[in-house]
Amino acid sequence: MADKKTTKATEVKTLEQLHAELATKRQDLIDARRSHVAGELANPRVLTSTKKEIARLLTAIRAAENSEKESK
């Protein structure tokens, strides 16, 4: 079996930073989809990886919001 490398986040981001990064990734996904339809996208795996990054960001945002609610 191959060793899977896991990375841990070293930088703690605020909710505003996470929301800004989410908006950027969503725009990147829209652009990638548009270029894929036009036949200009060289690597279609970009679509999958971008969707996964969006899901990770949404998970991080939800966790941060839940921890913020619990601390109050």
Count the domains in the chain: 1
- Cα separation, 43 vs 51, in Å, equals 14
Nearest Cα to Cα of residue 69 among 15, 7, 10, 2? 15
pLDDT per residue over 33-54, tens digit each?
Answer: 999 999 999 999 999 999 999 9
Whole-number pLDDT of residue 58 = 97
28 occurs within a structural domain: yes
pLDDT per residue over 3-34, tens digit each?
Answer: 666 666 667 889 999 999 999 999 999 999 99
Whole-number pLDDT of residue 2 = 57
Enter the tokens of residue 53. 């990054």
35 occurs within a structural domain: yes
65 occurs within a structural domain: yes
